[in-house]
Amino acid sequence: MPGDKAKPLLRALAGEVLARPPWWLMRQAGRYLPEYRALRARSPNFVEFCLTPALAAEATLQPIRRFGMDGAILFADILLVAQALGQRLSFGDDGPRLDALDEHAGIAGLSLAGIVALDPVYETVRLCRAALPPQTALIGFAGSPWTVATYMVEGGASRDFRQVKIWAYRDPAGFAALIELLVEATSAYLSGQIEAGVDAVQLFDSWAGILPEAEFDCWVIEPTRRIRDALKRRFPTVPVIGFPRGAGHLYERYAAETGIDAIGLDTMVPLSVARERLQSLTAVQGNLDPVALLAGGAALERAVASIRAALGDGGFVFNLGHGVLPQTPPEHVAELARLLAQPVDRT
Ligand code: CP3
């Protein structure tokens, strides 16, 4: 239930210090789990899989049953919004493919009215809500406008983000119209998730780290602040987590200026910076290297201990610095759950 502060994850997001940190993992549902691979085989089209509530709810619940995380992240994908606005989307072995938008056509082929296509996601939320243990928070999410725009303009993953940056540099007013459409779509989509029962929402800004400061202001901070404000007007008690992956020195301005409740730390954010400069502004979430989880053993144990020792005295949710890698042995996640259940070691 929104605002239900009894859940440990919500207490930590509100800045409360807990004896053991609540945890969840980005990409905690997915290919590293054999039960996910079996479920996924029932619907070869990934977009259809995401938009089939019974399957998506089952994928959401699988990691909770196995590992008992404090947060369940809704199973969906950030690119469903691009498809709902009118772009064709498919997923192949090389990742997502979209019919690239360009600066000449602009947003003429897109329409906000299409977001009713995301209604099945709200049904997934209701199914998850009904099945989750009462202490487990349900986390909704969306991509940030900038990150979703990179995929919409590049037509998929990119190495240098040339097309999307060229558009933003040469025609900032035209590009602003795309970002504006995404701000509206994302605010409506996250509002729908909250109305259906998510407890908190996360904005994934996977490509926040590729912009110079002036463009970071326009295309990352400003749209994030507007989505946050729109959500807070309607749902003042629902926490908003921002994850500006790769933002480096701009992490601090993001935490200070967007108004978000908690900030997702990527793997490279130094723990001293997180503790001294970020945790005083918002709760923090992170930031174990996904490869340390894959590697397991003593390195995993050491990394978990140092993250907890550094961040455990303030608002803190344990997570990875990016998503679980498909090669990760599920036993390592079980080991992580055991480590996090122990009292903190400050030696
Ligand atoms: O468990 C969870 O975290 C919830 C579900 C979730 C998925 N994608 C499912 C998924 C979430 C929160 C996402 C977010 C997402 N999607 C991001 C932001 C986080 C990040 O990784 O930076 C991005 C950039 C995407 C776009 C996307 N979706 C890509 C680039 C790919 C292909 C690469 C890959 O990792 O597979 C996807 C596909 C995807 N999204 C899968 C899953 C489980 C794999 C598809 C499959 O099962 O075949």
Q: What's the CA-to-centroid distance between 172 and ligand 1, angstroms?
A: 29
pLDDT score at 102: 86
> How far is residue 124's CA from residue 56's CA, in Å, rounded to a whole number?
6
Q: DSSP letter string over 10-45? A: HHHHTT---SS--B--TT-SSTTSHHHHHHHTT-S-
Q: What's the CA-to-centroid distance between 175 and ligand 1, angstroms?
A: 25
Q: Is the pLDDT of residue 4 over 70?
A: no
Q: Is the pLDDT of residue 5 over 70?
A: no
Task: Tell me which of 32, 36, 122, 151 is the catalytic residue.
Answer: 151
> How far is residue 124's CA from residue 196's CA, in Å, rounded to a whole number?
9
Distance linking the first and last C-alpha atoms of the chain:
38
- The reply to whether ligand 1 has any atom less than 6 angstroms from the CB of 128 is no
pLDDT score at 84: 98
> How far is residue 66's CA from residue 330's CA, in Å, rounded to a whole number?
9
pLDDT tier for residue 105 given thresholds of 50, 70 and 90: confident
- The reply to whether ligand 1 has any atom less than 6 angstroms from the CB of 146 is no
65 is catalytic: no
The residue nearest atom 23 of ligand 1, judged by CA position, is 78
The residue nearest atom 11 of ligand 1, judged by CA position, is 77
70 is catalytic: no
The residue nearest atom 40 of ligand 1, judged by CA position, is 77
- Those residues with Cβ within 8 angstroms of residue 214's Cβ, 6 or more apart along the chain or in another chain: none
Q: What's the CA-to-centroid distance between 59 and ligand 1, angstroms?
A: 13
pLDDT tens digits along 24-76 = 999 999 999 999 999 999 998 999 999 999 999 999 999 999 999 999 999 99
When pLDDT is averaged across residues 290-295 and rounded to a whole number, the result is 98
Q: What's the CA-to-centroid distance between 27 and ligand 1, angstroms?
A: 7
Q: Give the number of the atom of ligand 1 that is nearest the alpha carbon of residue 26.
A: 3
**Where along the chain do its domains lie?**
8-341
**What is the assigned CATH class of domain 8-341?**
alpha beta
31 is catalytic: yes
225 is catalytic: no
